[in-house]
Amino acid sequence: MELLFFYIFAAVILGSAVMMVTRRNMVHAVVWMVITFIGVASLYILLEAEFLAAVQILVYTGGIVVLFLFVIMLVNLGDIYQVEWLHRQWLPALLLALLLVTEIGFMVWVGAQDVPAAPEQSEAILRGLGGNVETLGMALYTDFLLPFEVASMLLLVAMIGAIYLAKKRV
């Protein structure tokens, strides 16, 4: 049953991602992006990662989409549609897509040969540590503290730069 839901959610994600990329109307593309994010959150729920699903909904579907909509409303889209050089990049895009499909196929082939012996062990370890959120918190603040702090500093610098650039124009 889980496999059926996985295939349904994967089809929804792929379909909405293709629709997002192919829409000429930016607002319609953002709506398809919301559907893609909700599909990814559904996959997290299938993986019993409820915290990541909630973060996916709150941060991406809530925050990032609102940010995109503000940018769409504030930017003059007429200038973007008149730029013709954006439409001439189909050959590099096709080559990169073929490279990506080849790489994914190789990973699936290698992964099929190297099946883990006991998936129950990771579930037992997860239950022994207290659940998803506690395990994620322990890993984030012990093993991955330095990358976490570097990412927070990069976000802080980006926010200060955006405020500086916005203040300069006002």
Per-range mean pLDDT, top range of 12-16, 27-31, 102-106, 110-114: 12-16
3-state secondary structure the chain: CHHHHHHHHHHHHHHHHHHHHHCCCHHHHHHHHHHHHHHHHHHHHHCCCHHHHHHHHHHHHHHHHHHHHHHHHHCCHHHHHHCCHHHHCHHHHHHHHHHHHHHHHHHHHHHHHCCCCCCHHHHHHHHHHCCHHHHHHHHHHHHCHHHHHHHHHHHHHHHHHHHHHHHHHC
Report the CATH fold assignment for 1-85.
Answer: Four Helix Bundle (Hemerythrin (Met), subunit A) (1.20.120)
**How is the chain split into domains, by residue range?**
1-85, 119-170
* Residue 122's pLDDT band (cuts 50, 70, 90): low
pLDDT above 80: residue 47: yes
pLDDT digits 0-9 by tens, 64-108: 888 887 777 776 666 555 555 556 777 888 899 899 899 988 888
| Residue that wins the pLDDT comparison between 120 and 138 | 138
